[in-house]
Amino acid sequence: MLTRLIPAALAAILALPATAEPIPVVATFSILGHVVEAVGGDKVKVQTLVGPDRDAHVYQPTPQDSRVLAEAKVVVTNGLGFEGWIERLIKASGTKAQIVVATQGLRTRKLADAHGHAHGGSVDPHVWHDPRRMAPYARNIAEGLAAADPANAEAYRINATSFAGLLGTLDSWAESRFAEVPQAKRKVITTHDAFGYLSERYRLTFRAPKGITTDSEPSAKGIARLIDQIRAEKIKAVFVENISDRRQIDQLAKEAGVTVGGRLYSDALSGTDGPARTYEALFRHNVSLLTSGMLQN
Ligand SMILES: [Zn+2]
């Protein structure tokens, strides 16, 4: 009886449709990783190379990253020179994964030369600070996942659409928050030029000792000019960034006679115990902190 039962049970199991395992997807940095999770839902298993509070501009890939890439079915990058190390890593890993560039086809912001840094190419990669640009970003991710996993294409598109709904909510919320701040007070100092898209969208002015990438040291002259501006324009909204060493901003604030107003999440999410664990939390945290900081100006 038993000998007959076992093959029968086995046959029944084999007859079941194969349970679809989530596909292995790699995202280069934490903010992108979160958006990929939102779009991929339970159909994907996302691994992020540059984790929370870490700086993707100056990241040095490890041999482990290369192995993770080799096993991935999809690799999602931001593009626009943000991850300067990714092309070499993709090549070195020999991965056969579908490569998705989330900023593909997005309207981008050309760099202001006022900052004078010769790094990072000519386009600002920090598109995630404008929620309206994140809808096509999420759509690109959905199409990339769909190409690698056509069986779930519909699910990816539905998730991208619902993420776009959240983005619309965040955008109108931010608009009303920033409307509380008179135009003349909308000035902010932070570590590097990460907030160009936010400032363009909501008409803010950001100044930073560092350019759009973090791999250069500002000149003493540049710092002195910034201190003069803080004093002359009575700017109180001076912030550190989660990915950067805070000593430079601390020193700058001290010399300008102002207090650092808190921590902005510029290029990475926070850890799970922090205030910016998701894209929405990051955006709301930054907008709230900026609004209250600028009102002090
Ligand atoms: Zn940056």
CATH number of the structural domain spanning residue 128: 3.40.50.1980
- 71 alpha carbon – ligand 1 mean position (Å): 28
> In this predicted model, what pLDDT tens digit does every residue of 44-95 receive, in sequence order?
999 999 999 999 999 999 999 999 999 999 999 999 999 999 999 999 999 9
- 195 alpha carbon – ligand 1 mean position (Å): 8
Statement to judge: residues 155 and 31 lie in one domain: yes
Inside any domain, residue 13: no
The percentage of the chain sitting over the pLDDT mark of 70, rounded to a whole number, equals: 90
Statement to judge: residues 215 and 89 lie in one domain: no
pTM of the model as a whole: 0.90
Looking at the structure of the chain, the number of domains it has is: 2
- 97 alpha carbon – ligand 1 mean position (Å): 26
- 7 alpha carbon – ligand 1 mean position (Å): 59
Inside any domain, residue 116: yes
Confidence band (pLDDT; 50, 70, 90) for 277? Answer: very high
Per-residue confidence (pLDDT) for residue 228, from 0 to 100: 95
Statement to judge: residues 152 and 32 lie in one domain: yes
> In this predicted model, what pLDDT tens digit does every residue of 69-82 receive, in sequence order?
999 999 999 999 99
Question: 242: which 2 tokens?
Answer: 């989660």
Statement to judge: residues 91 and 212 lie in one domain: no
Inside any domain, residue 17: no
Per-residue confidence (pLDDT) for residue 119, from 0 to 100: 47
Per-residue confidence (pLDDT) for residue 96, from 0 to 100: 98
Statement to judge: residues 187 and 62 lie in one domain: no
Statement to judge: residues 153 and 215 lie in one domain: no
- 78 alpha carbon – ligand 1 mean position (Å): 12
Statement to judge: residues 144 and 66 lie in one domain: yes
Inside any domain, residue 146: yes
Which residues constitute the domain of residue 78? 23-167
- 81 alpha carbon – ligand 1 mean position (Å): 11
